[in-house]
Homo-oligomer: A and B are copies of this chain.
Protein backbone atom coordinates (compact mmCIF):
# COMPACT_ATOMS: atom_id res chain seq x y z
CA UNK A 1 0.00 0.00 0.00
CA UNK A 2 0.99 3.54 -0.58
CA UNK A 3 2.35 5.36 2.43
CA UNK A 4 1.42 8.75 0.91
CA UNK A 5 -1.87 10.49 1.54
CA UNK A 6 -2.22 11.37 -2.14
CA UNK A 7 -3.02 8.61 -4.65
CA UNK A 8 0.08 7.61 -6.58
CA UNK A 9 0.46 7.53 -10.34
CA UNK A 10 3.12 5.97 -12.53
CA UNK A 11 3.43 6.00 -16.31
CA UNK A 12 4.84 3.19 -18.43
CA UNK A 13 5.60 3.87 -22.09
CA UNK A 14 6.21 0.81 -24.27
CA UNK A 15 8.20 0.84 -27.50
CA UNK A 16 11.73 0.36 -28.79
CA UNK A 17 11.63 3.73 -30.54
CA UNK A 18 10.92 5.43 -27.19
CA UNK A 19 13.64 3.48 -25.43
CA UNK A 20 16.24 4.49 -27.99
CA UNK A 21 14.95 8.06 -28.00
CA UNK A 22 14.31 8.01 -31.77
CA UNK A 23 10.82 9.12 -30.81
CA UNK A 24 10.39 11.54 -27.92
CA UNK A 25 7.46 10.63 -25.72
CA UNK A 26 4.89 13.41 -25.48
CA UNK A 27 2.13 11.27 -23.98
CA UNK A 28 3.68 11.53 -20.53
CA UNK A 29 3.39 15.29 -20.62
CA UNK A 30 -0.23 15.14 -21.72
CA UNK A 31 -1.18 12.66 -19.01
CA UNK A 32 0.69 14.65 -16.34
CA UNK A 33 -1.30 17.75 -17.17
CA UNK A 34 -4.54 15.87 -17.69
CA UNK A 35 -4.58 14.33 -14.20
CA UNK A 36 -3.49 17.54 -12.43
CA UNK A 37 -7.05 18.83 -11.87
CA UNK A 38 -7.77 15.59 -9.98
CA UNK A 39 -4.88 16.32 -7.63
CA UNK A 40 -2.84 13.51 -9.15
CA UNK A 41 0.79 13.71 -10.26
CA UNK A 42 3.03 10.95 -11.58
CA UNK A 43 5.77 9.80 -9.25
CA UNK A 44 7.76 7.90 -11.89
CA UNK A 45 7.84 7.47 -15.63
CA UNK A 46 9.33 4.33 -17.11
CA UNK A 47 10.14 3.35 -20.66
CA UNK A 48 10.45 -0.30 -21.69
CA UNK A 49 11.20 -1.74 -25.12
CA UNK A 50 9.13 -4.25 -27.05
CA UNK A 51 10.08 -7.22 -24.87
CA UNK A 52 7.42 -9.05 -22.94
CA UNK A 53 9.47 -9.88 -19.84
CA UNK A 54 10.59 -6.25 -19.51
CA UNK A 55 7.08 -4.89 -19.80
CA UNK A 56 5.85 -7.40 -17.22
CA UNK A 57 8.67 -6.54 -14.81
CA UNK A 58 8.14 -2.79 -14.93
CA UNK A 59 4.34 -3.16 -14.78
CA UNK A 60 4.47 -5.31 -11.66
CA UNK A 61 6.90 -2.91 -9.97
CA UNK A 62 4.72 0.09 -10.78
CA UNK A 63 1.49 -1.62 -9.71
CA UNK A 64 3.06 -2.65 -6.40
CA UNK A 65 3.46 1.04 -5.56
CA UNK A 66 0.84 3.01 -7.44
CA UNK A 67 -2.92 3.53 -7.40
CA UNK A 68 -2.96 4.33 -11.10
CA UNK A 69 -0.61 2.93 -13.74
CA UNK A 70 -0.89 4.34 -17.22
CA UNK A 71 0.48 2.18 -20.02
CA UNK A 72 0.83 3.67 -23.51
CA UNK A 73 1.85 1.94 -26.72
CA UNK A 74 2.12 -1.60 -28.01
CA UNK A 75 -1.57 -2.08 -28.87
CA UNK A 76 -1.13 -2.46 -32.64
CA UNK A 77 -2.28 -5.52 -34.60
CA UNK A 78 1.07 -7.30 -35.05
CA UNK A 79 2.99 -9.88 -33.04
CA UNK A 80 5.39 -7.14 -31.89
CA UNK A 81 2.57 -5.35 -30.13
CA UNK A 82 2.74 -7.14 -26.88
CA UNK A 83 1.11 -4.84 -24.36
CA UNK A 84 -2.17 -6.79 -24.21
CA UNK A 85 -0.32 -10.06 -23.59
CA UNK A 86 2.12 -8.51 -21.11
CA UNK A 87 -0.61 -6.91 -19.01
CA UNK A 88 -2.51 -10.20 -18.93
CA UNK A 89 0.58 -12.10 -17.76
CA UNK A 90 1.68 -9.41 -15.29
CA UNK A 91 -1.63 -9.70 -13.45
CA UNK A 92 -2.26 -13.42 -14.05
CA UNK A 93 -5.24 -12.96 -16.36
CA UNK A 94 -6.23 -14.85 -19.50
CA UNK A 95 -6.82 -12.98 -22.76
CA UNK A 96 -10.50 -12.99 -23.63
CA UNK A 97 -11.79 -12.37 -27.15
CA UNK A 98 -14.42 -9.60 -27.17
CA UNK A 99 -16.46 -10.17 -30.33
CA UNK A 100 -18.28 -6.87 -29.75
CA UNK A 101 -15.02 -4.97 -30.27
CA UNK A 102 -14.51 -6.22 -33.83
CA UNK A 103 -17.26 -4.27 -35.66
CA UNK A 104 -15.86 -0.83 -34.67
CA UNK A 105 -12.45 -1.90 -35.99
CA UNK A 106 -14.02 -3.20 -39.19
CA UNK A 107 -15.98 0.07 -39.52
CA UNK A 108 -12.76 2.05 -39.18
CA UNK A 109 -11.31 0.29 -42.21
CA UNK A 110 -14.62 0.52 -44.09
CA UNK A 111 -14.60 4.33 -43.75
CA UNK A 112 -11.24 4.33 -45.56
CA UNK A 113 -12.71 1.99 -48.19
CA UNK A 114 -10.64 -0.96 -47.00
CA UNK A 115 -11.23 -4.46 -45.65
CA UNK A 116 -10.01 -5.19 -42.14
CA UNK A 117 -6.83 -7.31 -42.27
CA UNK A 118 -7.30 -10.53 -40.28
CA UNK A 119 -4.46 -9.53 -37.88
CA UNK A 120 -6.56 -6.71 -36.51
CA UNK A 121 -8.90 -9.22 -34.82
CA UNK A 122 -6.11 -9.54 -32.27
CA UNK A 123 -7.00 -6.04 -31.05
CA UNK A 124 -10.26 -7.42 -29.66
CA UNK A 125 -8.36 -9.50 -27.08
CA UNK A 126 -8.42 -8.08 -23.54
CA UNK A 127 -7.21 -9.46 -20.20
CA UNK A 128 -10.07 -11.00 -18.25
CA UNK A 129 -11.85 -8.46 -16.07
CA UNK A 130 -10.69 -5.53 -18.20
CA UNK A 131 -13.19 -2.89 -19.31
CA UNK A 132 -12.67 -1.74 -22.91
CA UNK A 133 -11.98 1.94 -23.66
CA UNK A 134 -13.35 2.80 -27.13
CA UNK A 135 -11.00 4.39 -29.65
CA UNK A 136 -12.91 6.88 -31.81
CA UNK A 137 -9.87 7.79 -33.96
CA UNK A 138 -8.12 4.49 -34.60
CA UNK A 139 -8.37 0.71 -34.48
CA UNK A 140 -6.86 -0.26 -31.13
CA UNK A 141 -9.29 -0.24 -28.20
CA UNK A 142 -7.71 0.54 -24.83
CA UNK A 143 -8.79 -0.93 -21.52
CA UNK A 144 -8.89 -0.43 -17.78
CA UNK A 145 -7.96 -3.33 -15.53
CA UNK A 146 -8.49 -3.05 -11.79
CA UNK A 147 -6.09 -5.25 -9.84
CA UNK A 148 -6.43 -4.83 -6.09
CA UNK A 149 -6.27 -1.12 -5.38
CA UNK A 150 -4.47 -0.38 -8.67
CA UNK A 151 -6.17 0.81 -11.85
CA UNK A 152 -4.07 -0.18 -14.86
CA UNK A 153 -5.10 2.10 -17.73
CA UNK A 154 -3.88 0.94 -21.12
CA UNK A 155 -4.01 3.29 -24.13
CA UNK A 156 -2.51 3.38 -27.63
CA UNK A 157 0.78 5.23 -28.19
CA UNK A 158 -0.53 7.42 -31.03
CA UNK A 159 -0.93 10.78 -29.27
CA UNK A 160 -4.19 11.93 -30.85
CA UNK A 161 -5.90 8.58 -30.23
CA UNK A 162 -4.57 8.45 -26.67
CA UNK A 163 -5.76 12.00 -25.95
CA UNK A 164 -9.25 11.50 -27.33
CA UNK A 165 -9.67 8.28 -25.36
CA UNK A 166 -8.39 9.88 -22.17
CA UNK A 167 -10.81 12.79 -22.47
CA UNK A 168 -13.86 10.70 -23.38
CA UNK A 169 -13.46 7.69 -21.10
CA UNK A 170 -10.50 7.75 -18.75
CA UNK A 171 -10.92 11.17 -17.16
CA UNK A 172 -14.53 10.48 -16.10
CA UNK A 173 -13.39 7.14 -14.68
CA UNK A 174 -10.58 8.74 -12.67
CA UNK A 175 -12.85 11.59 -11.55
CA UNK A 176 -15.35 9.11 -10.17
CA UNK A 177 -12.59 7.19 -8.38
CA UNK A 178 -10.50 10.12 -7.07
CA UNK A 179 -12.68 13.18 -7.53
CA UNK A 180 -14.16 13.11 -4.02
CA UNK A 181 -11.60 15.24 -2.23
CA UNK A 182 -10.02 18.53 -3.04
CA UNK A 183 -10.02 19.79 -6.59
CA UNK A 184 -7.04 21.25 -8.37
CA UNK A 185 -6.83 24.01 -10.90
CA UNK A 186 -3.76 24.75 -12.97
CA UNK A 187 -2.63 27.57 -15.21
CA UNK A 188 0.50 28.45 -17.14
CA UNK A 189 1.64 32.08 -17.32
CA UNK A 190 4.32 32.77 -19.92
CA UNK A 191 6.93 35.53 -19.76
CA UNK A 192 9.73 36.62 -22.03
CA UNK A 193 12.58 39.11 -21.94
CA UNK A 194 13.38 38.54 -18.26
CA UNK A 195 15.92 36.00 -16.96
CA UNK A 196 14.98 33.12 -14.68
CA UNK A 197 16.99 34.58 -11.81
CA UNK A 198 15.22 37.93 -12.24
CA UNK A 199 11.80 36.20 -12.25
CA UNK A 200 12.91 34.34 -9.15
CA UNK A 201 13.85 37.60 -7.45
CA UNK A 202 10.65 39.40 -8.45
CA UNK A 203 8.36 36.56 -7.36
CA UNK A 204 10.28 35.90 -4.13
CA UNK A 205 8.08 34.23 -1.55
CA UNK A 206 5.41 33.33 -4.11
CA UNK A 207 7.75 30.51 -5.17
CA UNK A 208 7.76 28.89 -1.74
CA UNK A 209 6.87 25.26 -2.49
CA UNK A 210 4.80 24.85 0.66
CA UNK A 211 2.37 27.54 -0.53
CA UNK A 212 -1.01 26.90 -2.10
CA UNK A 213 -1.15 27.88 -4.95
CA UNK A 214 2.23 26.45 -5.79
CA UNK A 215 4.29 28.12 -8.51
CA UNK A 216 7.02 26.35 -10.51
CA UNK A 217 9.32 27.96 -13.07
CA UNK A 218 10.46 26.51 -16.39
CA UNK A 219 13.05 28.36 -18.48
CA UNK A 220 13.56 27.87 -22.21
CA UNK A 221 14.87 29.88 -25.17
CA UNK A 222 11.43 31.47 -25.39
CA UNK A 223 11.36 32.77 -21.82
CA UNK A 224 10.35 31.70 -18.35
CA UNK A 225 6.98 30.01 -17.73
CA UNK A 226 5.13 30.01 -14.41
CA UNK A 227 3.21 26.83 -13.76
CA UNK A 228 0.57 27.53 -11.11
CA UNK A 229 -1.39 24.84 -9.24
CA UNK A 230 -4.03 25.55 -6.63
CA UNK A 231 -5.89 23.09 -4.37
CA UNK A 232 -9.31 23.88 -2.93
CA UNK A 233 -12.63 22.33 -2.02
CA UNK A 234 -14.20 23.33 -5.34
CA UNK A 235 -12.97 24.03 -8.82
CA UNK A 236 -14.24 27.61 -8.61
CA UNK A 237 -12.43 28.21 -5.36
CA UNK A 238 -9.19 26.82 -6.80
CA UNK A 239 -9.58 29.03 -9.87
CA UNK A 240 -10.20 32.08 -7.73
CA UNK A 241 -6.98 31.36 -5.84
CA UNK A 242 -5.12 31.18 -9.14
CA UNK A 243 -6.72 34.43 -10.31
CA UNK A 244 -5.48 36.16 -7.17
CA UNK A 245 -1.99 34.76 -7.59
CA UNK A 246 -1.84 35.74 -11.28
CA UNK A 247 -2.88 39.27 -10.34
CA UNK A 248 -0.01 39.42 -7.86
CA UNK A 249 2.40 38.00 -10.46
CA UNK A 250 1.19 40.60 -12.96
CA UNK A 251 1.92 43.38 -10.48
CA UNK A 252 5.44 42.06 -9.99
CA UNK A 253 6.34 41.01 -13.54
CA UNK A 254 4.44 43.65 -15.49
CA UNK A 255 4.57 43.46 -19.28
CA UNK A 256 7.01 40.52 -19.25
CA UNK A 257 3.86 38.35 -19.13
CA UNK A 258 2.62 37.68 -22.64
CA UNK A 259 0.22 34.78 -22.17
CA UNK A 260 -2.04 33.47 -19.44
CA UNK A 261 -3.90 30.96 -21.61
CA UNK A 262 -1.18 28.76 -23.07
CA UNK A 263 -1.06 30.70 -26.35
CA UNK A 264 2.38 31.06 -27.92
CA UNK A 265 3.74 34.52 -28.70
CA UNK A 266 2.94 34.10 -32.42
CA UNK A 267 -0.69 33.45 -31.50
CA UNK A 268 -0.82 36.41 -29.11
CA UNK A 269 0.66 38.76 -31.70
CA UNK A 270 -1.60 37.34 -34.41
CA UNK A 271 -4.70 37.88 -32.27
CA UNK A 272 -3.68 41.45 -31.45
CA UNK A 273 -3.08 42.22 -35.14
CA UNK A 274 -6.38 40.65 -36.19
CA UNK A 275 -8.35 42.50 -33.49
CA UNK A 276 -6.83 45.81 -34.55
CA UNK A 277 -7.10 44.96 -38.28
CA UNK A 278 -3.40 45.73 -38.75
CA UNK A 279 -1.02 44.12 -41.22
CA UNK A 280 2.56 42.99 -40.90
CA UNK A 281 5.54 42.26 -43.08
CA UNK A 282 8.86 40.85 -41.91
CA UNK A 283 12.49 41.24 -42.98
CA UNK A 284 14.82 38.67 -41.48
CA UNK A 285 18.53 38.17 -41.68
CA UNK A 286 20.06 35.90 -39.01
CA UNK A 287 16.75 34.21 -38.14
CA UNK A 288 16.51 33.01 -41.75
CA UNK A 289 12.72 32.75 -41.96
CA UNK A 290 11.99 31.59 -38.44
CA UNK A 291 9.80 34.59 -37.56
CA UNK A 292 7.70 34.24 -40.72
CA UNK A 293 7.49 30.53 -40.07
CA UNK A 294 6.14 31.11 -36.57
CA UNK A 295 3.69 33.83 -37.65
CA UNK A 296 2.31 31.63 -40.46
CA UNK A 297 2.10 28.53 -38.26
CA UNK A 298 -1.12 30.09 -36.95
CA UNK A 299 -4.15 29.19 -39.05
CA UNK A 300 -5.79 32.37 -40.34
CA UNK A 301 -2.53 34.36 -40.40
CA UNK A 302 -3.15 35.35 -44.01
CA UNK A 303 -5.56 37.98 -42.61
CA UNK A 304 -2.68 40.04 -41.21
CA UNK A 305 0.54 38.64 -42.65
CA UNK A 306 1.46 40.12 -46.01
CA UNK A 307 4.91 38.79 -46.75
CA UNK A 308 8.30 37.97 -45.34
CA UNK A 309 11.73 38.43 -46.81
CA UNK A 310 14.91 36.65 -45.82
CA UNK A 311 17.93 38.68 -46.90
CA UNK A 312 21.33 37.19 -46.29
CA UNK A 313 23.53 39.34 -48.55
CA UNK A 314 24.12 43.10 -48.39
CA UNK A 315 23.01 43.27 -52.04
CA UNK A 316 19.67 41.71 -51.22
CA UNK A 317 19.22 44.13 -48.32
CA UNK A 318 19.77 46.99 -50.73
CA UNK A 319 17.66 45.57 -53.54
CA UNK A 320 14.73 44.19 -51.57
CA UNK A 321 14.54 46.50 -48.62
CA UNK A 322 15.94 49.79 -49.86
CA UNK A 323 18.59 49.76 -47.17
CA UNK A 324 20.85 52.65 -48.29
CA UNK A 325 24.36 51.58 -49.20
CA UNK A 326 25.90 54.34 -47.03
CA UNK A 327 24.11 52.90 -44.00
CA UNK A 328 25.51 49.44 -44.72
CA UNK A 329 29.00 50.84 -45.30
CA UNK A 330 29.05 53.19 -42.31
CA UNK A 331 27.43 50.90 -39.74
CA UNK A 332 27.59 47.37 -41.16
CA UNK A 333 24.81 44.82 -41.73
CA UNK A 334 24.57 44.15 -38.00
CA UNK A 335 23.75 47.55 -36.56
CA UNK A 336 20.76 49.41 -35.17
CA UNK A 337 20.79 51.64 -38.26
CA UNK A 338 20.53 48.68 -40.67
CA UNK A 339 17.84 47.02 -38.52
CA UNK A 340 15.77 50.22 -38.67
CA UNK A 341 16.34 50.63 -42.41
CA UNK A 342 15.25 47.00 -42.99
CA UNK A 343 12.06 47.42 -40.96
CA UNK A 344 11.23 50.70 -42.65
CA UNK A 345 12.07 49.35 -46.11
CA UNK A 346 9.83 46.29 -45.85
CA UNK A 347 6.99 48.28 -44.32
CA UNK A 348 7.12 50.96 -47.00
CA UNK A 349 7.42 48.62 -49.97
CA UNK A 350 4.56 46.39 -48.78
CA UNK A 351 2.40 49.25 -47.47
CA UNK A 352 1.65 47.34 -44.28
CA UNK A 353 1.02 48.85 -40.85
CA UNK A 354 4.10 47.27 -39.33
CA UNK A 355 7.50 46.22 -40.58
CA UNK A 356 9.50 43.93 -38.30
CA UNK A 357 13.20 43.20 -38.82
CA UNK A 358 16.08 41.23 -37.32
CA UNK A 359 19.77 41.37 -38.08
CA UNK A 360 22.48 39.75 -36.03
CA UNK A 361 25.28 37.22 -35.76
CA UNK A 362 23.95 33.74 -35.04
CA UNK A 363 27.38 32.09 -35.15
CA UNK A 364 29.33 29.95 -34.83
CA UNK A 365 31.43 32.04 -37.25
CA UNK A 366 31.16 35.71 -38.20
CA UNK A 367 31.74 37.24 -34.79
CA UNK A 368 34.38 39.89 -34.03
CA UNK A 369 35.55 41.53 -30.81
CA UNK A 370 33.30 44.53 -31.46
CA UNK A 371 30.39 42.50 -32.82
CA UNK A 372 30.45 39.11 -31.10
CA UNK A 373 28.31 36.07 -31.89
CA UNK A 374 24.94 36.63 -30.22
CA UNK A 375 24.75 40.36 -30.98
CA UNK A 376 21.29 40.92 -32.46
CA UNK A 377 19.18 43.96 -33.32
CA UNK A 378 15.40 43.83 -33.68
CA UNK A 379 13.48 46.78 -35.08
CA UNK A 380 9.83 47.71 -35.59
CA UNK A 381 8.68 50.29 -38.16
CA UNK A 382 5.19 51.71 -37.61
CA UNK A 383 2.95 53.43 -40.15
CA UNK A 384 2.95 57.09 -39.17
CA UNK A 385 5.06 56.43 -36.08
CA UNK A 386 8.63 56.21 -34.92
CA UNK A 387 10.79 53.17 -35.52
CA UNK A 388 11.85 51.25 -32.40
CA UNK A 389 15.06 49.27 -32.20
CA UNK A 390 16.48 47.06 -29.46
CA UNK A 391 19.91 45.51 -28.96
CA UNK A 392 20.32 42.01 -27.54
CA UNK A 393 23.35 39.91 -26.62
CA UNK A 394 22.25 36.32 -26.55
CA UNK A 395 24.28 33.41 -25.19
CA UNK A 396 24.36 29.98 -26.74
CA UNK A 397 24.75 28.26 -30.07
CA UNK A 398 23.34 29.15 -33.50
CA UNK A 399 19.99 27.51 -32.86
CA UNK A 400 19.59 29.21 -29.50
CA UNK A 401 20.54 32.66 -30.82
CA UNK A 402 18.05 32.27 -33.68
CA UNK A 403 15.25 31.09 -31.39
CA UNK A 404 15.81 33.92 -28.93
CA UNK A 405 16.07 36.51 -31.71
CA UNK A 406 12.75 35.46 -33.21
CA UNK A 407 11.08 35.62 -29.81
CA UNK A 408 12.58 39.07 -29.12
CA UNK A 409 11.33 40.40 -32.46
CA UNK A 410 7.79 39.12 -31.89
CA UNK A 411 7.90 40.58 -28.40
CA UNK A 412 8.90 44.00 -29.68
CA UNK A 413 5.70 44.00 -31.73
CA UNK A 414 3.60 42.69 -28.84
CA UNK A 415 4.83 45.41 -26.52
CA UNK A 416 3.93 48.06 -29.10
CA UNK A 417 0.49 46.55 -29.71
CA UNK A 418 -0.27 46.47 -25.99
CA UNK A 419 0.84 50.05 -25.49
CA UNK A 420 4.09 49.34 -23.63
Given known pairs A24-B24, A292-B288, the reply for A364 and B44 (CB within 8 Å) is no
**With A288-B293, A292-B288 as given contacts, are A306 and B312 in contact (CB-CB < 8 Å)?**
yes
User: A21-B29, A43-B54, A58-B44 are contacts. A316–B307 as well, Cβ < 8 Å?
Assistant: yes
Interface residues of A in 269-295 (CB under 8 A from B): 282, 284, 287-293, 295
> Can you name the residue of chain B whose Cβ is closest to the Cβ of A80?
B209
A297–B288 CA distance with the chains assembled, in angstroms: 7
What total of chain A residues lie within 8 Å of the partner, measured CB to CB?
65
Report how far A296 CA is from B158 CA in the complex, Å: 32
A396's nearest neighbour on chain B, judged by CB, is B160
Question: Quick one: which of A305-330 are within 8 Å of B by CB?
Answer: 305-313, 316, 320
Interface residue stretch chosen among A45-53, A87-95, A162-170, A230-238:
A45-53
Q: Is A288's CB under 8 angstroms from B296's CB?
A: yes
In the complex, A270 Cα to B146 Cα: how many Å? Answer: 55
A26 part of interface (Cβ distance < 8 Å): yes
CB distance from A66 to the nearest CB of B (A): 12
CB A15 to nearest CB in B, in angstroms, measures 11
Q: What are 29 A-B pairs with beta-carbon distances under 8 A?
A: A19-B32, A19-B42, A19-B43, A19-B44, A20-B29, A21-B32, A22-B225, A24-B24, A24-B26, A43-B48, A44-B46, A45-B46, A46-B46, A282-B310, A284-B289, A288-B295, A288-B301, A289-B290, A292-B292, A292-B310, A293-B293, A297-B402, A299-B363, A300-B365, A302-B312, A307-B311, A307-B313, A307-B316, A307-B320
Hey, which bits of chain A sit against chain B, CB under 8 A? Answer: 16-17, 19-26, 28-30, 32-33, 41-49, 54, 58, 61, 216, 218, 225, 227, 282, 284, 287-293, 295-297, 299-302, 305-313, 316, 320, 350, 363-365, 398-399, 402
